[in-house]
Amino acid sequence: MNTRREAREWVMQVLYAREISGDPLKQIRAQWQPRNARLPLYNFALDVAQKTDERHDQLDKIIIEYADKWELERIAILDRIILRMAICEILHFDDIPPKVTINEAIEIAKKYSTEKSDKFINGILDAVLHRHDSEGEPKSKSKVIKEKQGKKTASRGG
């Protein structure tokens, strides 16, 4: 593991094993030790894996909200995992520019997932990023609509 992309690929593999087996993340990590990992990259990978796993339900809710007309179970497993990782990075890793996170997710999807996954993932992550507010949480669609309605009402003087 010599690059952050390799670290993210390792995280994706570990989270995939977790998704399929249902085993605890700690147990899977012990079985999936990366070879020749530089310590800072390994620590980064562990942090992404842990935070993504801990926030699994929250991240799935965000995916459902932005994946219009898609049930979570119908989204390819790798796409769900890549989306969870990327949304987690956007929300909880302030030192990583969101555009870098999105680009990395797209490239990993191109390498490992379906032919159309990169566009699907880009669309969802772009929507999450554009509705991301200063509190570190994506704005719900209803919150965005209410804000727009509030601005219209305020501009009308009422």
Tally of CB atoms within 10 A around 135: 8
Which pLDDT does position 13 carry in this prediction? 95
Residues facing 138 on adjacent strands: 132
Alpha helices in the chain (DSSP H): 4-21, 25-31, 39-54, 56-66, 77-92, 98-112, 117-130, 141-155
Using alpha carbons only, give the angle 96, 98, 102 rounded to the nearest 5 degrees.
115
pLDDT for 122: 96
The CATH architecture annotation of domain 4-155 reads: Orthogonal Bundle (1.10)
Per-residue pLDDT of the chain (158 residues), as tens digits, is 778 999 999 999 999 999 999 999 988 888 877 777 788 888 999 999 999 999 999 999 999 999 988 899 999 999 999 999 999 999 999 999 999 999 999 999 999 999 999 999 999 999 999 876 544 554 444 444 344 344 444 444 44
Question: Could you tell me the residue ranges of all domains in the chain?
Answer: 4-155
Confidence (pLDDT) at 130 = 86
pLDDT number for residue 137: 52
121, 105 in Cβ contact below 8 A? yes
Interior angle at CA 72, CA 70 and CA 76, nearest 5: 90
pLDDT at 61: 95
